[in-house]
Amino acid sequence: MINQHIIRNIIIETPSKPGNFAKVATAIGIAEGDIGDITTLKSGALTTLRDISVTCKSEVQLQQVISNIEAIGGGVKILAVTDDVLKAHEGGKIAMKRRVDVRSLGDLQRIYTPGVASVCMEIFNHPEKANYFTSIGTSVAIVTDGTAILGLGNIGSVAGMPVMEGKAVLLDQFVGLSGVPILLNTSDPDEIVETVKHIHQGFGAILLEDIGSPHCFEIEERLKAELSIPVMHDDQHGTAVVALAAVISACKSTGVDPKKAVIGQIGLGAAGLAICRMLMAYGVEEVYGIDRQEDATDRLVNYGGKTKATLEEMMESCDIIVATTGVSGLIKPEMVRKGQIILALSNPNPEILPSVAIAAGAAFAADGRSVNNVIGFPGIFKGALDAGAKEITYPTLIAASLAIVDHTKQGELIPNPLDPTLHHHVARAVEEAANSAK
């Protein structure tokens, strides 16, 4: 069953007296609702109006939140419950926009006919100038077949379009790149590879997104081998970059040398296998993986990793545990070894809650809410394009991870994804690593 969190905005009026908002927050907390943004819409002498974003795990929990607030009384009122998530997506989140104005016939002649012909011939005679005189060098194709959309599964590429638009928004806002969603109605690796090969000339890079396992591995490997522009499956390597950064930051907080630690990866899907490969590329000497599917563990072994027989054996023998199974509550408190680092990264519900892991003896624990690939992929693509790289390599990905760690405040796991300097810091590190490899 799909576990889909519900986000609602609750407009609440309270008497303008100290303590009333605390009652509202307590009512939401008792129902285990998660408070997000709080916007004060009006602060009057008699009443205060607030817009509170609340995340719930189900409609039943949402109704409990509403009932708890309504039961406060004393002038506390719910004026509206709105779905601002749907509202934010009305009409889509992106559009192709012009970068120049056409205000005269002279403008028209320069940007279109007859002036544009000379630019066309300049590119014909010097193909490399297409990156300078067109948008190709700053455009990224966001390609999906819709087989692994978020935690929702195979819902198709059209239903996944809001995710692709979201990627495009982040590329534009954080690093100034144009992301163009490409929705495919096939999951056949041959057809996907051929389609991308036929359209790739209009883009500076290819971002593969929400393509399911195991065909995602074949598709990425073939496209990387056959195209001369950067190709990256974000669910694999974008996630792995941020996960490696999180592991390094957690080790810094606990005084552990990650390269000497025994690290166990639970779940060897697209993200899990990529995390193992990233850890090995970074220099971790002992990386173990476990998965219910034998072909998944075989892939890890082919890449040089090792396996464990059971989950219990993994928990007993590893210093650091990373989990990406999507199975809520998979790791039981009694499995936790004292002093372990546990990163239970499945969203929306982790394999074990950080608070439960800490109470069971873990030295450090975190979930996947903060370990999000948005921290990595914008800067990775920006850096690769700025360097004129033909591929995204492990040295560039590791450089991105280290840049994230370098930008992480002491005591935190990873930096704030909304920090604009972060993405340019990552881009510069990737560009330098790519240039040094030329």
**DSSP-assigned states of every residue in 174-188:** HH--EEEEEE-S---
Percentage of the chain exceeding pLDDT 70: 99
What's residue 67's pLDDT? Answer: 94
Alpha helices per DSSP H over 318-393: 354-359, 377-386
pLDDT average, residue stretch 141-150: 94
Provide mean pLDDT across the span 120-128: 95
Contact 163/229 with Cβ under 8 angstroms?
no
Given 17, 93, 97, 167, the catalytic residue: 167
Whether 196 contacts 143, CB under 8 Å: yes
Residue 154 has pLDDT above 90, yes or no: yes
Evaluate if residue 333 carries a pLDDT over 90: yes
Question: Which among 372, 433, 362, 373 is positioned nearest to 397, based on CA atoms?
Answer: 433
pLDDT band at 290 (very low <50, low <70, confident <90, very high): very high
CATH class of 105-229: alpha beta
Instruction: Express each pLDDT in 228-260 by its tens digit.
Output: 999 999 999 999 999 999 999 999 988 999 999
Average pLDDT estimate for 354-380: 91
The residue length of the chain stands at: 438
Residues 430 and 383 sit within 8 Å (Cβ to Cβ): yes
Instruction: Confirm if 50 and 21 have CB atoms less than 8 A apart.
Output: yes
Instruction: Give residue-wise pLDDT tens across range 165-197.
Output: 999 999 999 999 999 999 999 999 999 999 999
Task: Note whether 6-88 and 105-229 share their fold.
Answer: no
Its CATH class, for the domain covering 235-438, is alpha beta
pLDDT (tens digit per residue) in 4-42:
688 999 999 999 989 999 999 999 999 999 999 999 998
> Taking a C-beta distance cutoff of 8 angstroms, is the pair 146, 161 a contact?
no
Most distant CA pair in the chain, distance: 77
Looking at the DSSP bridge assignments, the partners of residue 205 are 140
What are the domain boundaries of the chain? Answer: 6-88, 105-229, 235-438
Superfamily holding 6-88: ACT domain (3.30.70.260)
Tell me the sheet residues that pair with 181.
Answer: 142
User: Which one is catalytic: 42, 112, 132, 409?
Assistant: 112
- Mapped onto helix, strand or coil, the DSSP state of residue 148 is coil
* H-type alpha helices, 58-149: 59-70, 84-88, 105-111, 116-125, 130-133
Q: Is 308 a catalytic residue?
A: no
The answer to whether 86 touches 56, Cβ cutoff 8 Å, is: no
User: How crowded is residue 90: how many other Cβ atoms within 10 Å of its Cβ?
Assistant: 7
Is residue 112 part of the annotated active site? The answer reads: yes
Q: How far is CA 152 from CA 4, 212, 275, 346, 385, in A?
A: 8, 11, 21, 13, 31
Q: Is the pLDDT of residue 144 over 60?
A: yes
Instruction: Categorise residue 326: left if φ over 0, alpha if ψ from -120 to 50, beta otherwise.
Output: left
More confident residue, 349 or 337: 337
pLDDT tens, residue by residue, 61-103: 999 999 999 999 999 999 999 998 888 888 888 888 888 999 9
Q: How confident is the model at residue 1 (pLDDT cuts 50, 70, 90)?
A: very low
Q: How far apart are CA 401 and CA 390, in angstroms?
A: 20
Beta-strand pair 205-208/178-183: unpaired
CA distance 314 to 308: 6
Tell me which of 369 and 342 has the higher pLDDT: 342
Is the pLDDT at 3 greater than 60? The verdict is no
The pLDDT confidence band at residue 217, using thresholds 50, 70 and 90, is: very high
